[in-house]
């Protein structure tokens, strides 16, 4: 039995190294004096406050070997909570138009169905069994999505934060592009429109940081966050990454995608201060913030926040409420799948943030949100 367990761990280590080889390349060059904004360099992009991401292949092998020796991630003590979705509410809300009640429904990982401003919005949709370029290897889903694709209302808008496989899923994108009633609008960071074009998907808007696009009553702004991109060997940092600020009359929503902790979030609050003062209804009504995939810190800290840093982001943004996402679905890093909500509770208490102000949902659960004044 012990030999079998060791063999299984070796296989997982080898699989992780093989997957990393597909996404590894040398770090991006230093920015050149080319007249472009500071985050845009010849042939790619960089972060605003650090050059510490992405990590190199040697660091990745060290991490995976250490994890193998320590036997992590350990199995969760309990499965990620999941409930039967309220399809009646979701579908009736989808047809309500301007009378739509603002809601968020956690589908799993970073995939959230947000209903606001008369639109059905999906963030980083992944409905596939694995977050991987290969169907037979790579991180497997721990449980079914909170909504099956067939249970979704007609999706109007899809937000893609970056091109990593757990955020840009080929099969899910193809399904959405072929949904009955027509494809949604896909909003993506710079450089990703070509990926969609290769799949004959043309309903795509590409944004740089701080650029915006309007769909109906909703304004969509791509914001800087601290992360990186890379999908195949040799394409590191060639496409942009980011978070999104959505401004609808009834709700202001922020979606962070993936990010390390940085001054970017204080900058986002300052950028939108003139439209989020007390007279305008205050700050973001809901922020979708990652709380998982953070161990070991020596490797993950520049690119993935831990729950303590997520609470700091909540405070930096001045958000009224935040929903913890990016946990409990794919075992991507060394912490157990059920650890992030426990660590979030400790971080909230340490920073004096109420449980109602930064919460998690069960997979499939919908939260109604109060409309802005």
Sign of CA dihedral 12, 14, 15, 17: positive
Q: What is the pTM of this model?
A: 0.91
As a whole number of angstroms, the distance between CA 302 and CA 145 comes to 29
The DSSP-derived string for 50-79 is -S--SPPHHHHHHHHHHHHHHT-SPPPSSP
pLDDT at residue number 35: 67
Q: Per the structure block, which two tokens stand in for 181?
A: 């009633």
| Whether the Cβ atoms of residue 291 and residue 311 lie closer than 8 Å to each other | no
**Average of per-residue pLDDT across 129-142:** 94
pLDDT at residue number 34: 59
Higher pLDDT pick, 115 / 9 = 115
| Whether the Cβ atoms of residue 121 and residue 87 lie closer than 8 Å to each other | no
Return the closest-CA partner of residue 48 out of 315, 243, 187.
Answer: 243
Residue entry with tokens 């699989």: 15
pLDDT at residue number 205: 98
pLDDT digits (tens, 9 = 90+) for 83-124: 999 999 999 999 998 899 999 999 999 999 999 999 999 999
| Whether the Cβ atoms of residue 130 and residue 157 lie closer than 8 Å to each other | no
pLDDT at residue number 25: 34
Is 32's pLDDT higher than 70? no
Q: DSSP state, 82?
A: B
Q: For the chain, list the domains and their CATH numbers.
A: 87-368 (3.60.15.10)
Q: Per the structure block, which two tokens stand in for 190?
A: 């710079």
> Residues near 117 by Cβ (< 8 Å), separated by ≥ 6?
100, 216, 217, 218, 246, 248, 249, 250, 251
pLDDT-based confidence at residue 57 (cuts at 50, 70, 90): confident
Is 17's pLDDT higher than 50? no
């Amino acid at each position: 039995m012990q030999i079998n367990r060791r063999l299984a761990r070796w296989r997982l280590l080898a699989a992780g190294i093989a997957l990393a080889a597909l996404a590894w390349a040398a770090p991006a060059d230093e920015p050149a004096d080319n007249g472009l904004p500071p985050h845009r360099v010849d042939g790619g992009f960089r972060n605003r406050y650090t050059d510490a991401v992405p990590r190199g292949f040697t660091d990745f092998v060290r991490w995976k070997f250490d994890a193998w020796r320590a036997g992590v991630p350990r199995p969760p003590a309990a499965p990620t909570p999941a409930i039967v979705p309220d399809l009646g509410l979701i579908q009736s809300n989808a047809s309500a138009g301007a009378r739509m009640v603002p809601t968020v429904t956690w589908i799993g990982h970073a995939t959230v169905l947000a209903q606001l401003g008369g639109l059905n919005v999906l963030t980083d949709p992944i409905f596939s069994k694995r977050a991987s370029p290969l169907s037979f290897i790579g991180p497997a889903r721990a449980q079914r999505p909170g909504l099956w694709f067939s249970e979704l209302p007609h999706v109007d808008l899809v937000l893609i934060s970056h091109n990593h496989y757990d955020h840009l899923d080929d099969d899910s994108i193809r399904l959405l592009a072929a949904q009955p009633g027509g494809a949604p609008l896909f909003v993506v960071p710079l450089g990703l429109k070509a990926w969609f074009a290769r799949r004959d998907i043309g309903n795509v808007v590409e944004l740089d940081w701080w650029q915006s696009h309007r769909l109906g009553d909703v304004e969509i702004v791509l914001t800087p966050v601290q992360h990186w991109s890379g999908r195949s060997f040799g394409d590191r940092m060639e496409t942009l990454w980011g978070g999104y600020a959505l401004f609808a009359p009834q709700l202001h929503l922020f979606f962070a995608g993936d990010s390390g902790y940085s001054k970017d979030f204080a900058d986002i609050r300052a950028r939108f201060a003139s439209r989020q003062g007390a007279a305008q209804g205050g700050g973001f009504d809901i922020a979708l913030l990652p709380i998982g995939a953070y161990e070991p810190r020596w490797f993950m800290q520049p690119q993935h926040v831990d729950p303590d840093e997520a609470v700091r982001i909540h405070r930096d943004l001045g958000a009224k409420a935040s929903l913890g996402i990016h946990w409990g679905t794919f075992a991507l890093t060394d912490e157990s799948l059920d650890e992030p909500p426990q660590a979030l509770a400790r971080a909230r208490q340490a920073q004096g943030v109420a449980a109602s102000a930064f919460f998690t949902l069960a997979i499939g659960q919908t939260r109604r949100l109060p409309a802005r004044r």
